Chain A
């Protein structure tokens, strides 16, 4: 089995290397058959990688402990679903997942764009270069098919990974990370072929949006996973692994907005290729962060077999991209200028600056402790206050801009028309802010501002739909007429829900902790939690306990929660939280418990208002993205007409 896996990976490397070398030569010397042959090599790399992936999955399913990777990430009593998910729980498997998704995407992108031969001829070697790096790593540096004498049992899977989210969260993140390679490859292909028209943007619109959606959903699933599994009462800790996914998402968000200015006004061509490069390099950096061991310590990074390779690859991609952009600057000059600082495109520009500033401050927060340890030998950490400060500084104006942007016309807007369009959202914001202030929400200014700005944005979105409906006669017709715009507004609505959920659950949460004997109670934000008893529990590969905690409000019983611990035979202990979702406040009563001697428990309680809006936001986000992604027949015809006479 391992031999087949290794052979398939070597074959994939050979094909990808051929796509890189032959593809580059063919594009440079304008050789048609060689270019087609390089494309075929890239197409064939996917089935070859798939064979390797199937071999690993079969080995994981059969618990073939002769494979070091299988022995390190599964055990005989690990449920099958988690054993199969072991594919992406370790370094070697994650690299294989990267390559599998990349070759699948590359094959699809080549096939879909096979008629745009002149551009795709250069895209193939760029994709080949990225894929060569991963295939090389898998063949010679970090192979999932290394064999050793089988141990009596495997090391198992970390308890916190034994959660249904393990099946979906990592693959979704990888679909997003890897997806950003496609727009990057097309951008570089366009620069290499000197085709700096909009064709590369047209070809990658949906790729970028899909990758961005996968990254967004993946992060939300990860946040929910952390919330229900880790047991510390939060969902986002500004952990470098979490930031690793947030940074490319922010860069891609900026790109999705700025690319519209290029399409509508022919501006920001340089900025767009810089952003797409930044998003791609950050996705590589994210994989490097999570897989090199650099987060634990700079020293573990130097011991990691992949750390240096990854860092080298990132440096190479940054240097190549910057050089290429510099060489093509004359072709990227805009012919139009920003007409007014009060216009839709100007608000997009402000939004871009804030998004990139937020992204870079997060990057600095991640990199600074590593640099400090590497240069000075001092272990430093950048903690929550740093990130919170910049989230408030850049995030709150971003939220406000999200409401302002749609109200401002393209090119320029007069004060009179602005006054008319701003009236309703402004009134909604002022009334909301005033009422909340009177109700005592001034205890947290960032929270109050988030609620107030959210009211402004929500009102502006409702107003946009209402006015559009009045003009077109129906919401369906309105959305069909411009799916990207109205899909975007639905995504904005998701961000409003997200902002409300984050503000409510962080700025206005209540936290209590107490050691309780049976019959004793604690109160938190109007809830009374009474500890009744504890009982032992047993699962397929663990034993543990669950406490019974009655929750009441205003003297009425609401529910009984069962927080506790699991003790996994091989992997160790794990918190098992218990949560009550309050349908009235859209908030949660979150509990976790640890056993204390004499039948007592250490009960931790968080009351988190509006937190469920965060998860609802995920659904709305997907709906908005799907609306924007849905094919538009009129647009397709227009583009087909535009490129009809272009060389095939």
Chain B
């Protein structure tokens, strides 16, 4: 029983050190604030999701058209609005992501 208590005490000690580690590593940090996205970042994410959704839908539509699941008429009726939505999302994203990537992104070039 004694060795069990010694082992249990060792486990507790290791656990306490591990749990306290963030405080031991940074006793007095410059900032202890947990980041959260501002309204600008949330909007960027929304647009990025919209962009990905529209591009995926376009890809799917083209594939379905090639495999004969979507008729020429349906394809023509759907491809325009989808391209517009994707282009709008890309345009809205570009000023936000301008610092991160080239304005003439492959997606934008493909839709222009």
**Are chains A and B native binding partners rather than an unrelated pairing?**
yes
Among the stretches A80-88, A270-278, A463-471, A563-571, the one at the interface with B is A463-471
Task: Evaluate contact between A409 and B41: CB separation under 8 angstroms.
Answer: no
User: Nearest 8 pairs between A and B by C-beta?
Assistant: A647-B35, A7-B8, A4-B4, A467-B67, A36-B22, A417-B71, A33-B22, A30-B34
Chain B, residues 4-38, CB within 8 Å of chain A (1/0): the string is 11011001101100111111001001011111110
Task: Evaluate contact between B15 and A27: CB separation under 8 angstroms.
Answer: no
Knowing A31-B32, A266-B53, A417-B74, the reply to whether A37 touches B12 (Cβ < 8 A) is: no
B66 on interface, CB distance cutoff 8 Å:
yes
B69 on interface, CB distance cutoff 8 Å:
yes
Task: Evaluate contact between B8 and A4: CB separation under 8 angstroms.
Answer: yes
Q: In the complex, what's the smallest C-beta–C-beta distance from A427 to chain B, in angstroms?
A: 16
Once bound together, how far apart are the Cα atoms of A455 and B37, in whole Å? Answer: 51
User: Interface residue count for A (Cβ, 8 Å)?
Assistant: 61
Task: Evaluate contact between A11 and B15: CB separation under 8 angstroms.
Answer: yes
Once bound together, how far apart are the Cα atoms of A471 and B69, in whole Å? Answer: 12
Q: In the complex, what's the smallest C-beta–C-beta distance from A558 to chain B, in angstroms?
A: 46
Chain A, residues 6-49, CB within 8 Å of chain B (1/0): the string is 01100100010010000000110011111111001101100110
User: In the assembled complex, which residues on chain B have CB atoms less than 8 Å from the CB atom of A4?
Assistant: 4, 7-8
Among the stretches A71-79, A157-165, A638-646, the one at the interface with B is A638-646
Q: In the complex, what's the smallest C-beta–C-beta distance from A199 to chain B, in angstroms?
A: 8
User: Interface residue count for B (Cβ, 8 Å)?
Assistant: 51
Partner of B21, one of A7, A27, A37, A638: A37
Task: Evaluate contact between B8 and A264: CB separation under 8 angstroms.
Answer: no
B56 on interface, CB distance cutoff 8 Å:
yes
A407 on interface, CB distance cutoff 8 Å:
yes
Closest to B20 in A: A37
Task: Evaluate contact between B45 and A646: CB separation under 8 angstroms.
Answer: yes
Task: Evaluate contact between B70 and A121: CB separation under 8 angstroms.
Answer: no
Q: In the complex, what's the smallest C-beta–C-beta distance from B14 to chain A, in angstroms?
A: 8
Knowing A30-B33, A37-B19, A41-B19, the reply to whether A51 touches B74 (Cβ < 8 A) is: no
Once bound together, how far apart are the Cα atoms of A647 and B52, in whole Å? Answer: 20
Task: Evaluate contact between A3 and B1: CB separation under 8 angstroms.
Answer: yes
Q: In the complex, what's the smallest C-beta–C-beta distance from A641 to chain B, in angstroms?
A: 8
Task: Evaluate contact between A645 and B71: CB separation under 8 angstroms.
Answer: no
Q: In the complex, what's the smallest C-beta–C-beta distance from B72 to chain A, in angstroms?
A: 9
21 intermolecular pairs with C-beta atoms under 8 Å apart: A1-B4, A3-B4, A4-B4, A4-B8, A11-B8, A27-B34, A34-B22, A37-B19, A37-B22, A40-B19, A41-B15, A48-B15, A121-B34, A266-B53, A409-B69, A412-B74, A417-B71, A420-B68, A420-B71, A467-B67, A647-B37
Chain B, residues 43-69, CB within 8 Å of chain A (1/0): the string is 011101110110011001101101111
Task: Evaluate contact between B69 and A3: CB separation under 8 angstroms.
Answer: no
Partner of B19, one of A7, A15, A118: A15
B102 on interface, CB distance cutoff 8 Å:
no
Closest to B70 in A: A409
Task: Evaluate contact between A644 and B34: CB separation under 8 angstroms.
Answer: no
Task: Evaluate contact between B19 and A32: CB separation under 8 angstroms.
Answer: no
Give me 15 other A-B pairs in contact (C-beta within 8 A), A3-B4, A266-B49 excluded: A4-B7, A37-B20, A41-B15, A44-B14, A44-B15, A48-B15, A118-B35, A195-B37, A198-B49, A264-B57, A410-B64, A467-B67, A643-B45, A646-B45, A647-B41
Task: Evaluate contact between B8 and A44: CB separation under 8 angstroms.
Answer: no
Once bound together, how far apart are the Cα atoms of A412 and B50, in whole Å? Answer: 19
Partner of A117, one of B34, B60, B63: B34
Q: In the complex, what's the smallest C-beta–C-beta distance from A56 to chain B, in angstroms?
A: 14
Task: Evaluate contact between A644 and B52: CB separation under 8 angstroms.
Answer: no
Partner of B11, one of A7, A117, A413: A7
Q: In the complex, what's the smallest C-beta–C-beta distance from B77 to chain A, in angstroms?
A: 8
Task: Evaluate contact between A644 and B100: CB separation under 8 angstroms.
Answer: yes
Once bound together, how far apart are the Cα atoms of A198 and B37, in whole Å? Answer: 14
A206 on interface, CB distance cutoff 8 Å:
no
Task: Evaluate contact between B66 and A471: CB separation under 8 angstroms.
Answer: yes
Task: Evaluate contact between A32 and B74: CB separation under 8 angstroms.
Answer: no
Q: In the complex, what's the smallest C-beta–C-beta distance from A276 to chain B, in angstroms?
A: 19
Task: Evaluate contact between A33 and B64: CB separation under 8 angstroms.
Answer: no
Chain A, residues 626-643, CB within 8 Å of chain B (1/0): the string is 000000000000100111
Task: Evaluate contact between B8 and A416: CB separation under 8 angstroms.
Answer: no
Task: Evaluate contact between B34 and A35: CB separation under 8 angstroms.
Answer: yes
A421 on interface, CB distance cutoff 8 Å:
yes
Closest to A638 in B: B52
Knowing A8-B8, A40-B18, the reply to whether A32 touches B32 (Cβ < 8 A) is: yes
Task: Evaluate contact between B35 and A117: CB separation under 8 angstroms.
Answer: yes
Task: Evaluate contact between B67 and A468: CB separation under 8 angstroms.
Answer: yes
User: In the assembled complex, which residues on chain B have CB atoms less than 8 Å from the CB atom of A647?
Assistant: 35-37, 41
The A-contacting residues of B in range 53-105, CB under 8 angstroms, are: 53, 56-57, 60-61, 63-64, 66-71, 73-74, 78, 97, 100
Partner of A40, one of B21, B46, B49, B64: B21
Once bound together, how far apart are the Cα atoms of A26 and B15, in whole Å? Answer: 19
Task: Evaluate contact between A471 and B34: CB separation under 8 angstroms.
Answer: no
Knowing A264-B56, A468-B67, the reply to whether A645 touches B73 (Cβ < 8 A) is: no
Partner of A33, one of B32, B52, B60, B97: B32
User: In the assembled complex, which residues on chain A have CB atoms less than 8 Å from the CB atom of B66?
Assistant: 471
Closest to B27 in A: A33
